Amino acid sequence: MWNKKVSCLLAVLALCGTMAAGAADYTVLEKADKVETTIYGTTQTGSLNERIASVDKLLNGKSTVSGSLQDKANSLYKDVYGNSGADLSLLTAVNLLQWQYSGQITAEPILVRVESMEQDIDGKVMTGSLEGRVMALRRALLGNTKYISQRVIIPANTVVTMTNLDELNSKTIQEGDVVRFTVADDVLVGDVIAIPRGMEVNGTVTKARKSGRFGKDGKIEIMYDHVRAADGSPVALMVGDKTKDQYKRTAGAVGASAAGAVILGPVGLVGGLFVHGNEVDIPAGTTMYAETKENTEVVGFKENGVMDDMETADMAASGVTVPSFNPVSDSDVDDSAEAEHDGDSSEGDLQAGLKAGTVTPVDLENTGHDDETVVQIQSNTAGDANE
């Protein structure tokens, strides 16, 4: 029986498919693009040599890398993304600091996040090398507590508890709006924090419908992005059997807080449960669930605890989507330093698949999942009903 305390209607199609983290062989240019995007938020202008020298000076305060163009790019790339086991990459360290300081790990560029914490803690933005500034924040926030990195595998179907940061209301929400969620509880693999609480998850509204006459209910359709692990690696999410079971177990508690979100199936299977003519109205802070789509290798962190820096760097860098505009011409790149690479899968492919009509409703009798599973989420205020 569905608990009658569940008090509002949410019709959400959660298309959960993202590029998977995995082995990569990025070119020198691709590595530079990813590093700049992670640090500044966008790629920079100038020749590749100039760009690498600029990043080196920002990170280390002076020129420290040497060798070929490829050697220089690899060194900086591993500084930003590579986790050695004994310590954390720059990206993982900043994620750790936000996790400790505010409990909210944003997707903003590293520079923005570091400056924000410095302003809050020290009252001003600090100077010096970025590595030194991050180390100063670690001392201020962690004292003598040391965190190390460790590679782990997040099992498929691991439940991820989230809350929505934005209200979901079918009366005001628009197609194309970005809806923000945040991970509510640390996802642990053993004693390793694989997905820290506070990691943001974005979703895009693909359909919004207000309630109407003759019992037409409000409706919202959202396509989830991936969630990032502690090291920045993308972890694909879906709404599967464990997610549905979790909603069923918590329906009473969720409903009592006027924030119901109960998974049901396609419209044809649950028409009798609809509350006609109501808007979708899910307040910010509603507890929601998803689960990991597949076994995913990531690098997490743990207290007091040697891996290959380049392998772990590739894992983390696979979560960085570089803006499509690239100001660097082919003539700026040393062809001898580049390896052939097919490039990243674009998250835009998900939107294309949606528009092409390849989305299919989930079959409640089918325990399998395909790459384009659609699950409809509903809640009911009309009283008790059988599943």
Q: Are residues 233 and 371 in the same domain?
A: yes
Model confidence pLDDT, tens digit, residues 86-120: 889 999 999 999 999 999 999 999 999 999 999 99
- Does residue 191 sit within a domain? yes
Q: Are residues 363 and 222 in the same domain?
A: yes
Average pLDDT value for residue range 296-315: 76
Q: Are residues 249 and 286 in the same domain?
A: yes
Average pLDDT value for residue range 305-322: 68
Q: Are residues 255 and 368 in the same domain?
A: yes
Q: Are residues 355 and 290 in the same domain?
A: yes
Q: Are residues 190 and 204 in the same domain?
A: yes
Token output for 32: 């530079």
| Contact in structure between 290 and 14 (CB atoms under 8 Å) | yes
Judging by DSSP bridges, how do beta strands 287-292 and 159-164 pair with one another? antiparallel
Model confidence pLDDT, tens digit, residues 154-165: 999 999 999 999
Average pLDDT value for residue range 9-18: 37
Q: Closest Cα to residue 306, out of 148, 111, 129, 157? A: 148
Domain that holds residue 368: 12-20+156-295+348-378
Q: Residue 269 belongs to a domain with what CATH number?
A: 2.40.128
Q: Are residues 229 and 371 in the same domain?
A: yes
Q: Are residues 143 and 289 in the same domain?
A: no
Q: Total structural domains in the chain?
A: 2
Q: Are residues 173 and 186 in the same domain?
A: yes
Write down the pTM of the prediction: 0.68
